Structure 1
């Protein structure tokens, strides 16, 4: 087992998902990017899509599609068009690497600790978007929650059968409540007949014990 070192579990999982399950991470990235673009464009218009509002200053007028290269592949980005003027998502198109990193970290964090409006709100602020309503942020959290739940409860035989399955534990130190504490990351990985590697599951535990392994493998 490797020597303990300070690691962000969400970052560790994000890298594992990106390396072993590129299709999953690409799908999650595409969903979150397009949801953020839609919500951001609504805020520019002064009202949500198709909503009647005296504060509305503009209207949406379809989308223009643009391929966006990321480290997990190319995603199809749907950039909203406006009837008057144009919408330019500077937070994504000019700061792509920063946005991509923030999105992957939040997806991984939500997988480990559950999806919450607070995590989505933190992501939005990290990207420099400060005009979204609480209802918009809440809806994005619900959308991500559905996808993360589907991944966590998916049937493993759909991607298999797996020729090799490995389960390993990494002792790490993490920051929790402004303190550095020890934790263990339990990670299961499978390799199918085509040689594709997939993350089967990951869990953070306080220690590597029979109880923690039983809980994780179940």
Structure 2
């Protein structure tokens, strides 16, 4: 194993890494990478692989012990390898104190971001003055993939029943066959019977289409998700068709925020303030019969205004799909009338994605986005545990 000698501009490197908004993802991956680093360092010290006989053997493996270690991103629990004689000591603790963890953060960011192993090798060489094995960097990257894959494919039949499911898509840039292409990222969340939010999963695909949406939704069925009472989304035609065919009997709720925007888009700029207030009144109703009455009053009030003809038509045609949430218990109304909370999550995902701008491949995109969603889900669980205590 190559021994690295650090010779860095620490403040400059640390600032560039810590300002990248990747701390949450870095911390969730920190233990994995450092444990692998120490394990390989012990292998290099012993000069033999597992179960290998050699006259060059230095010592015997003797399991691991746990050690907490404070880093810039917070306290982490490491699994430290040891040898029978006790003479082996990982250099990580001394080195990472000396360099203030900057090398680890920089390397982790590059690995999680999906930067090619060649670039990682060149950057490490430039920063440290020594080469690090390309195969070692590749092995670190490979260690992340099974973890995010296992999380993305975990069974859903063990969680509390989720009556309300939210789905949405966003677009990212990916390099493919020497070209930069747009790809759709599908994300699904849910609210369970305890009114707690869950992350169901994600998928990276070529584009928004019926086939892609159907495959995404069917993956939840395969993982054991019980048919939800309601799915909340925008009005993408392919998505609507996929919902109807995948979850027979499930109600589709059209996102009221998107719906109102569609109506407002067709309003003339002059005099629209009063019209918008009347429109909002419809969706401030609690009961569907009240909303329907307010809608009829709206249509009657503006029936002679030819400039509002298109807006009235959009409202009338999409109204029933946009008030389905009113048939559910009142306590859920603030959460299930729109996809707002999922869009806020998408914004956080976008902040991480914007660090890379263009992913080197689809797998690197999936790795980073899944890592963030895993961190988000774990944070929510920790918050619930603190509230219980």
Q: What is the TM-score normalised by the length of structure 2?
A: 0.37
Are the structure 2 counterparts of residues 187 and 49 from structure 1 closer, same or farther at C-alpha, using a change threshold of 3 Å? same
Residue aligning to 1:166: 166
Measured in 2, the distance between the counterparts of 1:211 and 1:146 equals 26
Q: SS state of the match for residue 162, structure 1?
A: coil
Does 1:86 pair with 2:89?
yes
Q: For residues 135-146 of structure 1, what are the structure 2 equivalents within 5 Å?
A: 137=139, 141=142
Q: Does 2:104 match 1:96?
A: yes
CA-atom RMSD in angstroms: 4.4
Deviation at 1:210, TM superposition (A): 0.5
Provide closer, same or farther for how the CA distance between residues 92 and 158 of structure 1 changes in structure 2, counting only shifts above 3 A.
Answer: farther
Alpha-carbon shift at residue 194 of structure 1 (Å): 5.7
Which has the higher Rg, Structure 1 or Structure 2?
A: 2
**How do 1:175-190 and structure 2 match up within 5 A?**
175-190=175-190
Distance in 1 between the 2:71 and 2:189 partners? 23
Name 1:130's counterpart in structure 2: 132
| Superposed CA offset, 1:77-102 (max 9, x none) | 02224543532127766333224434
- Gaps (5+ residues) in structure 1? 1-14, 20-24, 110-118
- Determine whether 1:214 maps to 2:214: yes
Q: Residue 89 and residue 131 in structure 1: after superposition, are their counterparts in 2 closer, same or farther (change >3 A)?
A: farther
Describe the SS at the equivalent of 2:90: coil
Give the count of matched residue pairs: 182
Q: Decide whether aligned partners of structure 1 residues 85 and 72 sit closer, same or farther in structure 2, where only a CA change above 3 A counts.
A: closer
Following superposition, the deviation at residue 195 of structure 1 comes to 6.1
CA distance in 2, matches of 1:124, 1:53: 33
How big is each residue's C-alpha offset from its partner over 1:142-161, in whole Å with a ceiling of 9 and x where there is no partner? Answer: x6565444323322132333
Tell me which protein shows more strand as a share of its residues: 1
Answer 1 or 2: higher relative contact order, Cα 8 Å, separation at least 6.
1
TM-score by length of 1: 0.59
Gaps in structure 2 of 5+ consecutive residues: 1-20, 126-130, 219-389
Q: CA deviation at 1:189?
A: 1.9
More helix by share: 2
